[in-house]
Homo-oligomer: A and B are copies of this chain.
Amino acid sequence: MKNITAPSAVAKNTATLLITCPDRKGIVAAIADFLFQHNANILHADQHQDAENNLFLMRVEWDLAGFSFDPAHFSQHFAEVSKRFNMEWQLKLSQKPLRVAIMVSQYDHCLADLLHRHKNGELVCDIPLIISNHRDTEALAKFYGVDFQYIPVTKDNKAEAEAQQFALFAKYEIDLIVLARYMQILSPDFVARFPKKIINIHHSFLPAFIGARPYHRAFERGVKLIGATSHYVSEVLDEGPIIEQGIDRISHRDQVEDLIQKGRDLERVVLSKAVRWHIESRILLYANKTVIFD
């Protein structure tokens, strides 16, 4: 299978810095000066100020060609600036793609979509692992050359099943877990182990229709638009920070099955955007919200 990957994605050798700190004068000057002093060729820079929370948030990406030091030593070089402004920061190198695990149950539309986008170069990451509590998607995983691990989950074996999952995440050095219509509720322990590292797709326009069977409830309520929401998973069900939402129009002619069908298109697009933005370091979290530097 030939990969029709965008050459830019392949050739790219960049660093992306995400910063959050209390807002005050001089931050941009300090960062821009630091990068200029070290001969960074800035490709993209975007920033956001949240007045209510007095926060400064920034994303800056630069070409590593000509940069004056090895980015492996970024921490020590950036220490003075980051301490001065009390920054939280993370650095992402394009040549070290994130490692992503996908968890899925029987509905395979999101999984098939993510794998196809990955093959086509749209999602620049590694996807070494698929975990499912059913065998339905095994052939699909095999077709795309991804390891498939079947871990059935029942009321009784949930803790062991999750222990197996944790072991696999460790073994495969997973950075991000994507719940691509995985129909099991994660334990609080699971969620606590991977803060800001689990992305879920919920098949409604949150906060409408939190919980089970949202399309059925949307149909009963007689709404004129249905939605889908991708979000980070946090302790409270469907209450984590929203990354992206999409909607589609429905009419009285649409039955529940039509809502489900139209919803699949939303889920695909809304989940894949969240994954892409995460692996490209475009998301910053604050106050249970997301900033998307697109």
Contacts and interface: CB of A to CB of B under 8 A. Distances in A.
Interface of A: 1-2, 4, 6, 8, 25-26, 28-29, 32-33, 35-36, 39-51, 106-109, 112, 116, 120, 122, 136, 139-140, 143, 205-209, 221-225, 227, 241-247, 249, 251-253, 255, 257, 261, 264-265, 269, 287-292, 294
A233 B27 CA distance: 40
Given A29-B36, A32-B32, A205-B225, A247 B244 contact: no
A223 B224 CA distance: 19
Contact of A252 (B43, B48, B106): B48
Contacts of A269: 265
A207 B107 CA distance: 26
Contact of A222 (B39, B221, B290): B290
Contacts of A136: 1-2, 4
Nearest to A106: B4
A292 B291 CA distance: 19
A79 to B, nearest CB: 19
15 contacts: A4-B107, A4-B108, A25-B41, A25-B42, A28-B36, A28-B45, A48-B253, A112-B116, A122-B264, A205-B227, A206-B208, A206-B221, A207-B209, A207-B223, A224-B242
A223 B245 contact: yes
A208 B223 CA distance: 11
A25 B261 CA distance: 30
Contacts of A43: 49
A277 B192 CA distance: 44
